[in-house]
């Protein structure tokens, strides 16, 4: 008892101590408004620009292509609404996928109400978007393709380079929600032909409530937040200096030992997948077997329901997540699990475990051991296990 294992890093991550140490200064002595002309203000401005450089470098963008926002949700909203509004004269058709985060899907639904037309692409059983369908969906009035880089539930990585190429050939803007991808993959926006990209700091050991939108130079995009002249007059509001500094620091730490970081997490992930497969019957790994995020494990356990599973795991000190209806607050299980073709009862019995580089092999083994017990207990209670 008393053991705590956090394996819900796709939900959020622990803010690294080095990140906090940097941030604290901007609450204490360096509290100036970056728009102010005196030294205290300029100090804050410099800190923001340093962070901007780090974030830009990380995805091979230029500094003036990075705009800080309040997080992934705002970046997604801004990209979609901003492109839709600014390109009205060109057309009103948007292409996305059925497995996007709600920050994209609900924004698309909103745009549909405003008169835009949205195509929601299917995915295959591994969660990969149908490229043929994408090509066929493109019309003269298509103004935007928005496909997530990697999925938050099942970890599947999309063929972003291929999509970027298609978008470029057709002269259509391409946005990608890379909120989950930035911590797990090297991203080069130039090489991938990405016009807009959303990021969020709290998924990479940075603070919550801060993110960025990368906007390629020359992209037609309306403003989302109107007000002061911050962020080159593109995103109004006094900058969250300490959060921006924290975001920058988190990116720098990630960049510094990216390969080791990915290697370590991948090893833990594969150990976890193997442990579960070797010890529990009647299960299914959800998401792509190979092209998946280094930190993502998602299994369905037949005959049992996800919320019960989470609650029993919580009693063992394990934090995880599920795509069951009972945890989503709605009648249906996760739209992602339905889109990959899972039957309802299988989707209800899903468990997502997402790792960080603070997890250990010992923790992985502990989770496997507890999972065996908990799944057995719930199967004994289940009427479905004949």
Q: Which residues are catalytic?
A: 326
- In whole angstroms, the minimum distance from the beta carbon of 71 to ligand PLP comes to 3
Check binding of 213 to another protein (CB under 8 A): no
CB atoms within 10 A of CB 285: 16
Residue 206 binding another protein, by CB under 8 A: no
Binding mask 244-263 for another protein (x = CB under 8 A): --------------------
Asked whether 134 and 145 are in contact (CB, 8 A), the reply is: yes
- The DSSP-derived string for 302-330 is TT--HHHHHHHHHHTTEE-B---HHHHTS
Q: Which listed range, 128-136, 238-246, 257-265, 298-306, lies at the site for another protein (CB under 8 A)?
A: 298-306
Kindly list the strands in the beta sheet with 196-200, ordered across the sheet, starting from the edge strand earlier in the chain: 66-69, 211-215, 196-200, 173-177, 142-146, 93-97, 117-121
Q: What does 122 interact with, of ligand PLP, another protein, none (CB < 5 to 8 A by kind)?
A: none
Angstrom CA distances, 161 to 60, 124, 280, 374, stand at 15, 18, 37, 41
Binding mask 335-364 for another protein (x = CB under 8 A): --------xxx--x----------------
Indicate whether 381 belongs to the interface with another protein (CB under 8 A). Answer: yes
User: Which CB sits closer to another protein, 201 or 325?
Assistant: 325
β-pair partners for 300: 284, 350
Spatial contact of 217 and 82, defined as CB atoms under 8 Å apart: no
Nearest-approach distance from CB 296 to another protein, in angstroms: 23
Q: What are phi and psi of 120, to 5 degrees?
A: -105, 105
Pick 3 or 344: Cβ nearer another protein = 344
Q: And the tokens for 139?
A: 């019309």
- Please report how close the Cβ of residue 307 comes to another protein at its closest, in angstroms: 4
Question: By the 8 A CB rule, do 145 and 123 touch?
Answer: no
Q: Answer with the entry of another protein, ligand PLP, none that 343 interacts with (C-beta below 5 to 8 A by kind).
A: another protein
Task: Give the whole-angstrom CA distance, residue 321 versus residue 103.
Answer: 19
Distance (Å, whole) CA 261 – CA 258: 5
Q: Which is nearer to ligand PLP, 78 or 312 (CB)?
A: 78
Footprint of ligand PLP on this chain (CB under 6 A)? Answer: 71-73, 76, 101, 103, 148, 152, 177, 179-180, 200, 202, 211
Q: Is 58 in contact with 65 (CB distance < 8 Å)?
A: no
**What angle (nearest 5°) sits at the alpha carbon of residue 154, between those of residues 284 and 142?**
130
Q: Does residue 325 interact with another protein by CB under 8 A?
A: yes
Least distance to ligand PLP, CB of residue 203, Å: 7
Measured between alpha carbons, how far is 45 from 52 in angstroms, rounded to an integer?
A: 11
222 near another protein (CB under 8 A): no
Using rule CB under 8 A, residue 42 touches another protein: no
Tokens of 310: 């989470």
Which partner in ligand PLP, another protein, none is near 275 (CB below 5 to 8 A by kind)? none
Binding characters for another protein, 129-168, by CB under 8 A (x = yes): ----------------------------------------
**Residue 148: which of another protein, ligand PLP, none does it interact with, CB under 5 to 8 A by kind?**
ligand PLP
One residue of 261, 333, 351, 374 binding another protein per CB under 8 A: 333
Length of the chain, in residues: 386
- Which residue, 2 or 329, is less far from another protein as judged by CB? 329
316 interacts with another protein by CB under 8 A: no
Nearest to 155 by CA among 266, 81, 240: 266
Q: SS3 of 64, please?
A: helix
- The residues binding another protein (CB under 8 A) are 303-308, 311, 315, 324-326, 329, 331, 333, 343-345, 348, 380-384
């Amino acid at each position: 008892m008393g053991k705590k294992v956090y394996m819900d890093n796709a939900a959020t991550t622990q803010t690294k101590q080095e990140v906090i140490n940097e941030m604290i200064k901007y609450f204490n002595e360096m509290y100036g408004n970056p728009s102010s002309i005196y030294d205290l203000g300029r100090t804050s401005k410099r800190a923001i620009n340093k962070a901007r450089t780090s974030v830009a470098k990380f995805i091979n963008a230029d500094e003036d292509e990075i705009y800080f926002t309040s997080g992934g949700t705002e970046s997604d909203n801004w990209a979609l609404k901003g492109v839709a509004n600014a390109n009205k004269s060109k057309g009103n058709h948007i292409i996305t996928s059925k497995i996007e985060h709600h920050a994209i899907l609900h924004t698309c639904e909103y745009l549909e109400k405003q008169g835009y037309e949205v195509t929601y692409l299917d995915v295959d059983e591994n969660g990969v978007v149908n490229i043929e369908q994408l090509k066929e969906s493109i019309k003269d009035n298509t103004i935007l393709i928005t496909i997530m880089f990697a999925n938050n539930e099942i970890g599947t990585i999309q063929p972003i380079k291929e999509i970027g190429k298609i978008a470029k050939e057709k002269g259509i803007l391409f946005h990608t929600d890379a909120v989950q991808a930035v911590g797990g993959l090297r991203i080069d926006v130039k090489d991938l032909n990405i016009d807009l990209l959303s990021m969020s700091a709290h998924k990479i050991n940075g603070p919550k409530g801060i993110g960025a939108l990368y906007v390629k130079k020359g992209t037609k995009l309306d403003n989302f937040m109107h007000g002061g002249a911050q962020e080159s007059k593109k995103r109004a509001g006094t900058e969250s200096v300490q959060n921006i500094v924290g975001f920058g620091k988190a990116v720098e730490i990630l960049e510094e030992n990216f390969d080791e970081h990915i290697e370590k997490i991948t090893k833990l992930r594969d150990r976890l997948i193997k442990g579960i497969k070797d010890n529990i019957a009647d299960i299914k790994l959800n998401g792509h077997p190979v092209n998946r995020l280094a930190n993502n494990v998602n299994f369905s356990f037949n005959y049992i329901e996800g919320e019960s599973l989470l609650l029993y795991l919580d009693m063992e000190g394990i934090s995880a997540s599920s795509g069951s209806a009972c945890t989503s607050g709605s009648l249906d299980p996760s739209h992602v699990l339905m889109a990959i073709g899972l039957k309802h009862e299988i989707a209800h019995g899903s468990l997502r475990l997402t790792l960080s580089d603070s997890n250990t092999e010992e923790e992985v083994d502990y989770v496997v051991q507890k999972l065996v017990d908990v799944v057995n207990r719930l199967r004994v209670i289940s009427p479905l296990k004949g």
